[in-house]
Amino acid sequence: MAENREGSAPDDDSAPSTVDDVLGPAGHRDLRRLPALVAQAFRLVWRAAPRQLSLAGGLQLFAGLSLAGQLAIVRRIIDRATIEDGVPDLAQLAPELALFGVLLVIVAVAAVAQREQQRLLGELVEKYTTGEVMNVSTAVDLIEYDHPSFYDRLQRARVNASARPLQIANGVIGLLGSGAAVAAVGAALIWIEPIVAALIVLGGLPTLYFNRLSSKVMHRYAVRQTAGDRRRSYLYEVLSRKETAQEIRAFDSSAHLRDEHDRLFDRKIDDLRTTIRRRMSYGAMSAAITAAVTVGSLVLLFTFVRTGRLAVSDAAVAVGAVVIVGSRIKGLLASSGSLYEGALFLRDFTDFVETGAREAAARSRAAPAPPAFQRIELEDVSFTYPSRTEPSLKDVSLELRHGEVIALVGENGSGKTTLTKLLAGLYRPDRGVVRWDGRDIAGIDLADLREHVTVIFQDFTRYFLSAHENVAISRIRDIDDEEGVRKAAMTAGADGFLRSLPDGYATLLGPAFLGGSDLSTGQWQRVALARAYFRASPLLILDEPTAALDPRGEYEIFQQVRRMAEGHTVVLVSHRFSSVRAADRILVLDGGRIVEEGDHDALLERGGLYAELFELQAAGYRENPV
């Protein structure tokens, strides 16, 4: 029975991963999109920080409008100096000068306040956007992480969520301030000489066009570099993390990895140089046009004064207005360009967030999971990872009953871990049916289903958090249950060494932060097992739970696992046959299929793959292996 994955990403060949995929055919984005992009940026900033946006915007509006007031005062001073009989002394001009000085102080203070509010606004927007990215990355189906295109979209969303919010916030605020200044001073210029005002406005259109081209060039560059940046970041992590440091030194492989890292960086810098040259050419053409318009406007004003069309005071104010409006139009266009560029990158963010919205919509339509189960059935289940052509599971059928211990054995790559992920609700099958007490989980909310499953993988996570949090994280809603955490740690054999830490269960684990205490690999594994015991779900899945333990620790853990089966169903993956021989049933996987099933004695008697693997392992313990 075929099944579609709700909320899953499209296949790699249809997901946006190239420049043309992201920008559209030939990277086409015309100016008609600018209002929609600006509106989208405004909505984002408003959702993140409405109070700071209003305050910073109000300060910018005040600063812009105050320019018109300053021009009016200057015009008054010039009028009195040129129209009244004689040149007035300073005492006569004192009121205007004092008002002008007070206005300058107010504007300066408002500019400082606005700048600080803008910095705060950028942080608040970053908090909002990074939160949205984390919401999506933790909510999407696990299968998404097997799509390279998802990693590319996640990379762009993560980078843009942290790097672009301040740019967008500055663009929004700059647009408000420059727009207010242009409107106020432009109105005065229109009143004095509309021809000059029209010339300045028309002269700004080419700048807007070149800003748009420059933004598109930068966005194409960022899209081209996404895959390379991810690989370079990975190499940087490999070369700078403790987990890889010992092997890097043992193999003396740092030079090779560093060369690969630098090669990718050099390729990025070469591409950036080309991008910068194009952006500089656009900037130069824009600056030349702006300068020509400003000089032409001044020449025109000088001509109007010579012909008597303008009074000297009006011309003086008009000159100041031309300079101010020209500067503010440049700022307006720069803010628009910044906002447009930020909005181009913002689309990467919003497209990624929409993935989470689709996931949430799919979950809202799904039915709740059953509270418990008596049996779980898999019927003709197959599964293929997106990065592979051959299925990892092929036509698997089995039944798990409440209260029994099932062991999965087989060689590496036989499908054991993949099968546990399907049982845990982390993946949906490509084909076939998984049923809990007869209910097909295809229509069940997998997140709800996972509430009834505990899974501890061989590559479990080592959280650099407190010892208490490391255990309680498996049932985080009960994080204050200190007794339950302690009991789970005791069951896993972790209580003794956790209590002996400098601050007991409050001690940070791991070496990453000041005051942290690292554990041995075996101790970390016991902490991971304590998580499983603390969660106490009906279905417990343990993937190589004793790989880092000594024989005594392994024996203790499996005695506990055996006792847990009285109220739980346990699925155990192990390469150690001494661990699985006490299971109620052993399933032997080979090539993604279940090829044998039975208890230890029956499988040995059959003389198949299980017996062969058991004999190979047992030979290692004999004095003279065959």
Domains of the chain: 34-358 (1.20.1560.10), 370-458+544-626 (3.40.50.300), 461-538 (no CATH)
pLDDT of residue 480: 92
Question: For the segment 528-551, what is each residue's pLDDT rounded down to a tens digit?
Answer: 889 988 988 888 888 877 666 677
Q: Give percent of the chain above pLDDT 70.
A: 71
Residue with tokens 């899209």: 223
| Closest C-alpha among 427, 374, 353 to residue 396 | 427
If we measure between CA atoms, which residue out of 300, 316, 327, 331 comes closest to residue 73?
316
Q: What is the pLDDT of residue 586?
A: 92
Average pLDDT score over residue span 82-99: 62
d(CA 242, CA 219): 35
Residue 382: Cβ-neighbour burial (10 angstroms; 0-12, 13-18, 19+) = middle
Spatial separation of the C-alpha atoms in residues 321 and 315, rounded to whole Å:
9
CB under 8 Å to 523, separation ≥6 — which residues?
494, 497
Q: How confident is the model at residue 319 (pLDDT cuts 50, 70, 90)?
A: low
**Confidence band of 500 (pLDDT split at 50, 70, 90):** very high
The model's confidence at residue 241, banded by pLDDT at 50, 70 and 90, is confident
- In 400-537, which residue ranges form alpha helices assigned H by DSSP? 416-423, 446-449, 467-472, 482-491, 495-499, 521-535
Average of per-residue pLDDT across 337-343: 68
Does pTM surpass 0.75?
Answer: no
| Structure confidence at residue 486 (pLDDT) | 95
DSSP result, 209-246: HHHHHHHHHHHHHHHHTHHHHHHHHHHHHHHH-HHHHH
In angstroms, the Cα distances linking 14 to 21, 80, 414, 540 are 9, 71, 30, 37
- Of residues 17 and 111, more confidently modeled: 111
Amino acid at 79: D
**CA 232 to the chain's CA centroid:** 17
Mean pLDDT of all residues belonging to the chain: 77
Confidence of residue 134 (pLDDT cuts 50, 70, 90): confident
The confidence score (pLDDT) of residue 27 equals 38
What pLDDT was estimated at residue 20? 41
Of residues 52 and 541, the one with the higher pLDDT is: 541
Q: What pLDDT, on a 0 to 100 scale, did the predictor assign at position 109? A: 77
Given a cut of 90, whether residue 205 has pLDDT beyond it is no
Q: Which of the four pLDDT bands, split at 50, 70 and 90, describes residue 288?
A: confident
